[in-house]
A and B are shown apart, each in its own frame.
Chain A
Amino acid sequence: MSELLTYIIFIPLTAALLVLLTPKTYEYLYRVLTVLCLGLTLVLIVYAAYDFKTHSASTITDETTLQLIHKTEWFSMSMGSLGKFSVDYFVAVDGLNIGMLLLAGIVLFIGAIASWNIGKKKKAYFSLYLLLSSSVLGCFVALDFFLFYLFFEFMLLPMYFLIGIWGGPRKEYASIKFFLYTLVGSILILIVMIGLYNSVYDPVKTAAETGYEVLEVQSLVKDGSIASDKIVKSFNMIHMTNPDNYIPGSFLDSSSLAKVFGQPARWIAFLALLIGFAIKLPAVPFHTWLPDAHVEAPTPISVVLAGILLKIGGYGLIRTAFAMFPDSAYHYSWLIGFFGMFAIIYGALNALAQKDLKRLIAYSSVSHMGFVLLGLAAMTVEGVSGAIYQMYSHGLISAMLFLLAGVLYDRTHDRMIENYGGLAKQMPKYTVFIAIAFFASLGLPGFSGFIAELMVFIGAFKSSGTIGAIPGWMPVVATLGLVLGAGYYLWALQRMFFGKFWVKDKNWIPALKDLDTREYVMLVPLVILILTFGLYPSLLLDLINNSVESFTNHLLSFHK
């Protein structure tokens, strides 16, 4: 089944074409087609995760330990003395992305159901949504930097239109802001990608080119005894993590003396990747596009945005910045940890000041993404697992939160907290789900968020006692985020749902009906998933353990 991942990526794309080709008279088919095809994708992804071999050794610098590899040469050309330019179509999974793929499958499917009642320009909406799905899925499994970047950039286009056309009152501002902001990050990533390409060669292809064995090639390149036009350069992200594959003396080689702005080139390259993906994550202070995008985006797009798009930032940090520049990551771990801790508290304080429910959830996302940074900066197995778990768990919880915010917005077209009171009496079932989502998000044990945050905390503190990547006070201070989290959620709950029933506009009352079947179909599975991953963390941790361990060993191999 080596093409499985390819099917997963291209099924939505094919469906997008089908939607485009279906005449407008069969408009009702668009949403059916979208839900069905993303359902199929989800089934395939679940199969991939089920089939994932958890006990086989996994080394993040060795592409033979990947699973479900599909790799063919895409295009290559000789560039004279600059060596050979070669781009692969290379998709595969390991512990670092299997969880993200699963999350993407779930959230995209739920988002498709949430899109059921989209009113205007259905053809455009569903084809763009499917296009977005393809690029998101592709981004998580692509292991050729060129391909990864392509998918990464391609997400912007559908996202721009999805917010810009189907969004709220300030949709133009929000979509442009989202687009430009992310583009700035992309440019930084692009620069590093080019730098990496110039420094990394593909030992296998070079061996094929020169006729040597792979191991021979590596020592020969080290000696400089292979002519530079024979060296096949590579975009392979796995090769990029292995320091043996850097051409000696090249720009980003770890022994390189190249300097940029007076700093070692590798540090600057790391920072560029860090900022590039931190914008996507988003990390404070690059987060201000998020509240605007969330508030203006239609519900399903908010769900997808919070549920998966943000995670690409975290995943990118793990797969590229940390894995390719472990030495620089260690050098900057204090800074990253600090920004993580800062984001946790800063985001929470901002959430406390919000009057708009959706904006509150958006800022809580900023706070929760701080845990990802803190966990990564810790560089311990617990911390990194916690970061990945947090991305996964936040994907589910924030999807649920935005769906719930959408439920209310659908009925009244108003999201202001102060305009509601005592909704528990009017919409008891809705209140139950809101309470579950709020408590899950504030990290109540039993829900997935707790496991993630706990792992980040113990991992971060352990880091201070063992490898010293970040000091012990950071996680201790970051725990304040838990109190603030309880503060803004419970306060919102109390103001909107408890007390006597009251709404600002009497005309809303008939519209304020309790949840309908379609909403149950979206919410119940999410609750079950959030609970399941809160009680059986091994479901996800078993998938990622080997890779995370290899990842942290890889990070620290430079430290020792």
Chain B
Amino acid sequence: MIELQEIISPNTNSMVYWLIALLAIPFLSFITTIKAGNKAPHWATSLLGINTLIAIYLAFLNWNSNPITIKGYWFSIGDTQLTYAFLIDRLTLMMTIVVNFISLLVHFFSQEYMRNDEAKPRYFAFLGLFTFSMMGIVLFHNLLLIFIFWELVGLSSYLLIGFWFEKKSASLAANKAFIMNRIGDLGFITGLMILYTQFQSFDLGAIKSLMSYSQIEDGNWIVQFTNNGKEIVNSLDGRWLSAAGIALFCGAVGKSAQFPLQVWLPDAMEGPTPVSALIHAATMVAAGVFMLARVFVLLDAQALEVIAIVGSITAFMAAIAALSQFDIKKVLAYSTISQLGYMVMAMGIGAYTAGLFHLLTHAFFKAGLFLAAGIIIHQLHKLESKEVKFNTQDMRVMGGLRQYMPKTFFCFLICALALAGLPGFSGFLSKDAILLNLSVWADEKGGGFYIPEVLAFATVLFTAFYTFRMIFLVFFGNFRLSKIVNQENITEKLKDGNFTLIIPVIILSILSLSPVFGLTLNAEHTWFVESFSTPGFLVPVVYAAKSLVEIPHENFEALHGLVNGVSIGLAAIGIFLAYIGYKPNAKLEQAFVERREPRGFFGQVSFYHWYQDALYRKAILKFILLKAKAIYWFDKHIVDGLVNGLARLQVIIAHIAKWFDKYFIDGLVNLTAFTGGRIGQLTRSIQSGNVQTYILLSFAFIILLMLYLVF
């Protein structure tokens, strides 16, 4: 029988110091930057630079070695030890580099972007806090610790979305993000409860080994092991096994902005744009996908199906919403949701490697798009003055920016092509890997499982469309602002971003080219896919899903050409349609500029993201607040009313008692006294001293006595 203590007992490894450094440096940045004043940007950026170097060095050391686990005790409840564990494997190393590297670029970029903001120490400190929390999620191999840092990531996201707290919309968006994430985290906690009850540990290593020993008997999920030599048999209803997977997934639904909790992400665009690039595009929102990868082997068939379906719905819904937005960041936000949907769906269908691959490519090209958008917003902001006020994120004021910002345009275009998934760009490789696996999966399952496939392919078309709609609206035609504010010469002030702004974007767009991952058009031959392998499921066989690894390779080969062709074709159609609709002076473009919001049923549904937000606000939020008010009324008037009523009743009873006491008891006493007095008076009146009366009375008594004796 397997001994729990053997799996969780502490061990160490010299690598642990590097891991501690990876956590400590961003934390140091958090606590020192806040007091660093004007030096804050440089100081924080330098620290992140060091951290990135450490991350790269660590990967250099360990990429080809076996996974290393480092464990230790944290605290114990009764005789149950709670532990912590670090894991260094390729997934950890990849995420460590991605998080630190993009964080570094964003720090670098922000030096210029936030130059004139008084609160920049706070800004850079929060970035440090975020990087620290993110590193915790990545490095720890213990569900409880992952959850702890998971929540801290939520906190830093809250703080950064609400960074400009004087704006009401920003603080509301921050609240929304935190609460939506919390709703998802209820699921995460439930997952923790189930797994802990069954395995008495949060250590992922322990959970995984014990999971592989667990069995299903008569519908019960049973695991046997020893803890400190004490034999333990835990049994739960088998449905809790699926529930555990779905519950953990709920956490990812919150963090990775999946249906139905995705509404927070578009609002999160209230934060500074570099923050959107880092947190709400590249890293934090990918944490959900990362977490799914960590618990991948613990998911059963049912949980995986749920994940796949939710992912595909999310991808589709968000792609539709991105079609009609005015705000450039909103387009990118919906696009992020949609791409996250792809990644989550990939995990759900069992395409572990493809999902992670897309996480990586998306992190680069989407961060690139956001930072490029950041340059545009930043440069447009400089045109604002007392007389000229406009929304710097609104695509209706943009147009023709290609001429004024050629470098930004070029980088934006590369990243956009990666997003649209055209050959030669990274997105093509990873997206096609997902679509190929999806097609095989759908063929395998058949029936209703073709729906996710249809949704995913439709999303390819829409993605290409909204991406190029954005390109045409922002970079082609004439600069619309000059017409709107009637100042022809306003363009004189419009310049491309400076060195600090453009360098990170150039780096990110280079990383969005497909040769970075291998000179191939087939994802399978990229170094990334070759470095990762899909792990097998550890859940009891009865509940396990069929792994894609088990499907013959020929099935993939057979579909490969078709999937490639269809996706390229759909992307091309999407771009063409965008060209038709939104090329300079096209009909739609004209209508777009003039309208306050899109017309028609479809336009409205898209613009308002399927009215999901309105539904939440009007139905659920209002309902809860009303219920809260009603319950408070109940508490105040019924529960407390009862208490006060009882008190009042007491008082009334007391008054009655007082009355009773005064008039009855006391009355009796008085009556007695009164009667006594009367009797006294009576008898006194008898004793009148009048002899005749005495004789009369004696006579009367004698008669009465005689009558009594006779009868």
Contacts and interface: CB of A to CB of B under 8 A. Distances in A.
A2 interface: no
Contacts of B162: 498
A483 B183 contact: yes
A228 interface: no
A288 B151 contact: no
A462 interface: yes
Interface in A436-460: 439, 444-446, 450, 454-455, 457-458, 460
B171 A494 contact: yes
A275 interface: no
Interface string B324-337: 00000000000000
Interface string A472-499: 1001100110110011001100100111
Contact of B78 (A288, A381, A497, A499): A381
B192 interface: yes
Interface string B41-80: 0000000000000000000000000000000001111111
A377 to B, nearest CB: 15
A386 to B, nearest CB: 8
A479 B189 contact: yes
Contact of B189 (A181, A425, A454, A537): A454
Contact of B193 (A287, A349, A458): A458
Contact of B151 (A350, A445, A494): A445
Give the residue among A479, A482, A491, A552 with the most B Cβ atoms within 10 A: A479
Contacts of B168: 498-500
B278 to A, nearest CB: 21
B197 A445 contact: no
Contacts of B75: 536-538, 541-542
Interface residues of B, number: 55
Interface string B241-263: 00000000000000000000000
A340 B197 CA distance: 20
Contact of A498 (B78, B165, B627): B165
B490 to A, nearest CB: 30
Main secondary structure of the interface of A (DSSP, over half): helix
B111 interface: no
Q: Which secondary structure dominates chain B's binding surface?
A: helix
A545 B193 contact: no
Given A454-B144, A483-B182, A498 B77 contact: no
Contacts, number: 148
Interface stretch (B211-219, B367-375, B585-593, B639-647): B639-647
B182 to A, nearest CB: 5
A525 interface: no
B78 A549 contact: yes
Contacts of B86: none
A422 B165 CA distance: 8
A180 interface: yes
B166 A422 contact: yes
A180 B643 CA distance: 11
A354 B183 CA distance: 22
A169 interface: no
A548 interface: yes
B55 to A, nearest CB: 24
A549 B631 CA distance: 38
Q: Name, among B78, B166, B178, B627, the residue most crowded by chain A CB atoms within 10 Å (CB to CB).
A: B78
Given A422-B166, A480-B186, A498 B171 contact: yes
Nearest to B179: A486
B632 interface: yes
A208 interface: no
Contacts of B234: 465-466
A349 B631 contact: yes
Given A462-B196, A465-B235, A446 B189 contact: no
A150 interface: no
A479 B190 contact: yes
Nearest to A181: B643
A325 interface: no
Nearest to B151: A445
A197 interface: no
Given A349-B627, A444-B151, A537-B75, A499 B171 contact: yes
A491 B76 contact: no
Given A382-B78, A545-B76, A549-B79, A353 B631 contact: yes
A140 B647 CA distance: 31
B184 to A, nearest CB: 10
B628 interface: yes
A487 B179 contact: yes
B197 to A, nearest CB: 4
A40 B685 CA distance: 83
Contacts of B186: 479-480, 482-483
B152 A461 contact: no
Interface in B195-246: 196-198, 234-236, 240
Contacts of A486: 178-179, 182
Contacts of B189: 454, 457, 479, 482
Contacts of A287: 639
Nearest to A476: B190
A536 B82 CA distance: 12
A40 B182 CA distance: 43
A499 B647 contact: no
B77 A545 contact: yes
A461 B647 contact: no
Interface string B143-178: 010011101100100100010011110111011001
B645 to A, nearest CB: 12
Contact of A461 (B149, B166, B194): B194
Nearest to A536: B75
B98 to A, nearest CB: 23
Contact of A381 (B80, B147, B185): B80
B625 interface: yes
Contact of A385 (B77, B190, B236): B77
Contacts of B80: 381-382
B193 A476 contact: yes
B635 interface: yes
Nearest to A451: B75
29 contacts: A177-B647, A180-B647, A284-B639, A285-B639, A288-B643, A349-B624, A349-B632, A352-B624, A353-B631, A382-B80, A385-B77, A424-B165, A445-B149, A445-B151, A457-B189, A457-B192, A458-B196, A458-B197, A461-B193, A465-B198, A465-B236, A479-B186, A480-B186, A486-B179, A494-B174, A498-B162, A500-B166, A541-B76, A542-B76
Given A482-B186, A536-B75, 7 more contacts: A284-B639, A346-B631, A350-B631, A465-B235, A483-B186, A499-B167, A538-B75
